[in-house]
Amino acid sequence: MAGMRVLETTEATRSRMSRQRSHDTGVEMALRRSLHAAGFRYRVHRRPLKGVRREADIVFGPVKVAVFVDGCFWHGCPEHATWPKRNSGFWREKIEKNRARDANTDARLREAGWVALRVWEHEDAHEAAARVAAVVIERRALLADRMNRARVNVVEPPA
Ligand SMILES: [Zn+2]
């Protein structure tokens, strides 16, 4: 972070940064609302794996599904990767580092029996919610099978 302060950034880069640095971005909130309205319950901003400092945006604990909402700029979305021209090396390295970290996070989750789902900031929240819901439902069925009982309790009190 300290290195950022000495950088000259354009107005566009600055606004991209401030927009995407925080949690609870528009798409994340819309996604959560959509899932909640469909009856899904989840936790937000949790580390799915103990001892691993990676936080998922939406977590379905019992079925081990972790959802990450990735900002198009920071995570190098293939559709909207607008690499800043100023300090391009710095930004490219930063974004590549984020992407490598994302891939590593997904791999670690997979190894621990989780499914990592990534939603781009530019995606339609309802479509993304349907995609997440489909995976959660599938995992519930698998879990129910495995536990050989009809009912799996994944309901939590509303936030
Ligand atoms: Zn994008």
Say whether pLDDT at 115 is over 70.
yes
CA distance 2 to 20: 18
CA distance 76 to 99: 7
**All residues at 6 or more sequence positions from 146 whose CB lies less than 8 Å from its CB, including other chains:** none
Residues around the ion ligand 1 (C-beta < 5 A) = 72, 77, 79-80, 120, 122
Higher pLDDT, 5 or 53: 53
Question: pLDDT of 83-104, one tens digit each?
Answer: 778 888 898 899 999 999 999 9
Neighbours of 132 (CB within 10 A): 23
The answer to pTM > 0.85 is no
Question: pLDDT of 7-37, one tens digit each?
Answer: 455 666 555 555 444 566 789 999 999 999 9
Range 46-72 average pLDDT: 94
**Is 2-147 a domain of CATH 3.40.960.10?**
yes
Using the mean position of ligand 1's atoms as its centre, give its distance from the Cα of residue 45 in Å: 21
99, 104, 110, 113: CA torsion to nearest 10: -120
Nearest alpha carbon to residue 137 among 58, 31, 38: 38
Using the mean position of ligand 1's atoms as its centre, give its distance from the Cα of residue 121 in Å: 6
* Helix, coil or strand: residue 1: coil
Using the mean position of ligand 1's atoms as its centre, give its distance from the Cα of residue 124 in Å: 11
Q: List alpha helices for 9-150, DSSP H.
A: 11-21, 26-37, 88-111, 125-147
Range 129-143 average pLDDT: 96
Say whether pLDDT at 137 is over 50.
yes
- Note the Cα 121 to chain centre separation in Å: 9
Q: Write down the mean pLDDT value for the chain.
A: 84
Say whether pLDDT at 4 is over 80.
no
Using the mean position of ligand 1's atoms as its centre, give its distance from the Cα of residue 151 in Å: 38
**Domain parsing of the chain, residue ranges:** 2-147
Are the CB atoms for 107 and 66 separated by under 8 Å? no
Using the mean position of ligand 1's atoms as its centre, give its distance from the Cα of residue 157 in Å: 33
How would you classify the pairing of strands 65-70 and 43-46?
A: unpaired
The pair of three-digit structure tokens given for residue 57, joined into one six-digit string: 């945006």
Are the CB atoms for 132 and 118 separated by under 8 Å? no
Are the CB atoms for 44 and 56 separated by under 8 Å? no
